[in-house]
Amino acid sequence: MNGELCAFIDANCDMLAEKILYLQYARQPGLAERYAARDIKLCLRDIKYHLSYLCEAVAVDSVSLFLDYISWAGSLLGNLKLPPEDLIINIECMKEVLIKESGRNSENLLVSYLDPALERLKYKKEVQFSFIKNDSPHFELASKYLSFLINADRVSANKLILEALERNVSIKDLYLHVFQVTQREIGKMWHENKISVACEHFCTAATQQIIAQLYPHIFSAPKNNENKNFNVVAACVANELHEIGLRMIADFLEIEGYNTYFLGANVPKDSIVKTLCERNAHLLAISATMTFHVKYAADIIKEIKKSPQCSNVKVIVGGYPFNVDAGLWKNIMADGYAADMAAVTSEASRLLH
């Protein structure tokens, strides 16, 4: 049923979006007059986004992913000073149109996703939090580092990290308590429309440049001999361009003594499987930070499990969608899941030892 519904939405997305919009016009007299022709096109685009995210969530059997998207969409409308009821009525119209057009066989499935979304929008409470915790081991260091990045002061950010190394702050602590938390905070700030895409990209690029200076320390650090015979391949799935999180995961496993082979962003499925065979890999770490990319992770896992040469390779997944839905990794038949760098070492040990 999930596959049939997704196929129907994909094939009829334009028609569905128009029906949803015009039904909303009928439910909200005066709404059409609020929008110019350009705005109507944007409304149709947004409805298609809603449909696409619903489709992706249904495909991997995850209500949590759709709820997370709807929460973000609601917050975005709030930041743009648009009435919250616009989105609520839009989702109500989406539910009515989808049930009518897709047939009653899909009704229960649609209700299981759209009713919780409506509840989330109607009774949502904003929760303020930061990834940089006051009680974290290097709160002041992480806070200063983030401030330098946001203010485009890459030189001071670099100096801050090098001075921390001179004070014997470990590479592990820098990765865990500075780089990881600041990258997540930067992503959250973009998500909340507090910084631009350009600012987010600058901050990430700056951190990548700073990390590059640390490799002599990583390669010369004492290694855990228990892991020296295990080969790990790390790759971002096809179309996934956010590589810094997985790069840090690979570095962290390298520090732990594993032999890592980092492939970077946007790696085709066939190339990943071929590399696993060539490197005699024991573990694959794959990253998908966007909901639209979870299906590519699932495809890779299917390909690995049916390949005689690498069917014994264990697969750990990670990235934002897997943090949103803690059971998602099981839905796509992965062997394990790591929420962060600290978790990946214990998960790798569990799977390989």
Which of these, 53, 47, 52, 48, lies nearest to 24 by C-alpha position?
A: 47
Tokens encoding 344: 């990946």
Give the CATH number, domain containing residue 258: 3.40.50.280
Q: Residue 90: how many CB atoms within 10 A of its CB? A: 23
- Same-domain check for residues 253 and 269: yes
Residue-range definition of the domain harbouring residue 207:
139-217
> Region 348-352: what's the mean pLDDT?
95
Query: What pLDDT, in 10s, does the model give residues 90-126?
Result: 999 999 999 999 987 889 999 999 999 999 998 876 6
> Region 191-215: what's the mean pLDDT?
93
Asked whether residue 131 is assigned to any structural domain, the reply reads: no
CA separation for the pair 38, 22 (Å, rounded) = 16
Looking at residue 129, its pLDDT comes to 83
Q: Report residue 38's pLDDT band, with 50, 70 and 90 as the boundaries.
A: low
Residue 277 clears pLDDT 70, i.e. is over it: yes
Q: 2 with 102: CB under 8 angstroms?
A: no
Tokens 């890592």, residue? 260
- Same-domain check for residues 14 and 82: yes
Radius of gyration over every alpha carbon of the chain, rounded to an integer in angstroms? 22
Residue 9 clears pLDDT 90, i.e. is over it: yes
Mean residue pLDDT of the chain comes to 92
Domain boundary among 193, 217, 241: 217
Asked whether residue 310 is assigned to any structural domain, the reply reads: yes
Query: What pLDDT, in 10s, does the model give residues 219-245?
Result: 887 788 899 999 999 999 999 989 999
CA separation for the pair 90, 70 (Å, rounded) = 11
**Total structural domains within the chain:** 3
The torsion defined by the Cα of 80, 84, 87 and 91, in degrees rounded to 10, comes to 160
